[in-house]
Amino acid sequence: MRILFVGDVVGRSGRDAIDKHLASLRQNLRADVVIVNGENSSHGIGISSDICKGFYASGTDCITLGNHAWDNKEILTYIDRDPRLIRPINYPKALPGKGHYLHSLNDGRKILVINAMARLFMDPLDDPFDMTMSLVKAHPLGSAVQAIFVDFHGEASSEKMAFGHYLDGYVSAIVGTHTHIPTADNHVLNGGTAFMSDAGMTGDYDSVIGMKKDVPIQRFVKKISMDRLSPSEGEATLCGCLIETDDKNGRALKIGRVRIGPRLQSEMPDF
């Protein structure tokens, strides 16, 4: 199975990049499944039902979220009606939505998509390690499902790496989101799980993690700001990765970086 994952979509410029590139990427990379993190796609924080529909129209199969999942209040009533939109599994159980989605391909193959959120420098949520492991053990890799993909939304690379090694061999791939900076550590772990600390953002890189530069600079320099953050509006660079797995056992064979845009050096997998 070939899985294309696109990192945090930020604002209008990020959505424009999805509209411009995703359909052709899916075709050119022969992706069987496309997963997009959309938690920053609505004005830089949250997501809306209309944005979800736009992502699906561009070829997205599943949308993951993160710590900005609820910033657009419409999602509180929409998410239960859209099983393809998932929020971190370790949010309180009383919240709407689910932390996983079981996607069936036209040929009968299945992939379990999981969204989990880290805790170091993040919100004090339930244990993502235990909750994710319990879920994947209920969906054995290579028998119940042909692949399992996890979007691990977190700040600290150490927690992401620990999470990857903890689940190595139980899932096909773990890719981090949230920092909006693409990392170069994409590789397959010893047990057959593809890993990358952060996919990076799909947004304008002439910015501070996707936001117009003046306000965050002011906050760092003066420790005070009277203005709100707003997404940078320049042309976005699409960042993500492609994973290829073995359908017989669900283990990853390869993981490569995907990058298209004007700011960062473009890159495509060689498989």
Side-by-side strand order, sheet with 85-86: 85-86, 62-64, 33-37, 2-6, 238-245, 252-260
57 phi and psi, to 5 degrees? -65, -30
Q: Which residue has the tokens 């170091």?
A: 120
Question: Is 43 designated active site?
Answer: no
- H or E, element range at 149: strand 147-153
pLDDT value at residue 228: 85
The residue whose two tokens read 């944005």 is: 51
Residue 234: band (very low, low, confident or very high) from pLDDT cuts 50, 70, 90:
very high
Token look-up 């359908």 returns 247
Q: Which CATH number applies to 2-260: 3.90.1150.10, 3.40.50.300, 3.40.50.10420, 3.60.21.10?
A: 3.60.21.10
Q: What are the tens digits of pLDDT across the range 83-112? A: 999 999 999 999 999 999 999 999 999 999
- Residue-wise pLDDT for 239-255, tens only, equals 999 999 999 999 999 99
**Nearest-angstrom CA–CA distance, 183 and 177:** 10
The token pair at 66 is 């993160």
pLDDT band of residue 121 (cuts 50, 70, 90) is: very high
| pLDDT tens column, 174-224 | 999 999 999 999 999 999 999 999 999 999 999 999 999 999 999 899 888
Question: Is 91:117 a contact under the CB 8 Å cutoff?
Answer: yes
pLDDT digits (tens, 9 = 90+) for 189-200: 999 999 999 999
Reading phi first (left if > 0) and then psi (alpha if -120 to 50, else beta), residue 122 is in: beta
Q: What is the pLDDT of residue 227?
A: 82
Could you give the maximum distance between any two Cα atoms of the chain, in Å? 57
Tell me, what's the pLDDT at 88? 98
Enumerate the domain spans of the chain.
Answer: 2-260
pLDDT at 173: 98
Average pLDDT over residues 29-43: 97
CB of 60 closer than 8 Å to CB of 85: no
Other CB atoms within a 10 A radius of the CB of residue 43 amount to: 16
Catalytic residue among 21, 43, 68, 103: 68
pLDDT digits (tens, 9 = 90+) for 39-88: 999 999 999 999 999 999 999 999 999 999 999 999 999 999 999 999 99
Residue 172 has phi, psi (to 5 degrees) of: -80, -40
Residue 226, pLDDT above cutoff 80? no
Query: 5 pLDDT band (50/70/90 cuts)?
Result: very high
The whole-number average pLDDT for the span 141-167 is: 97
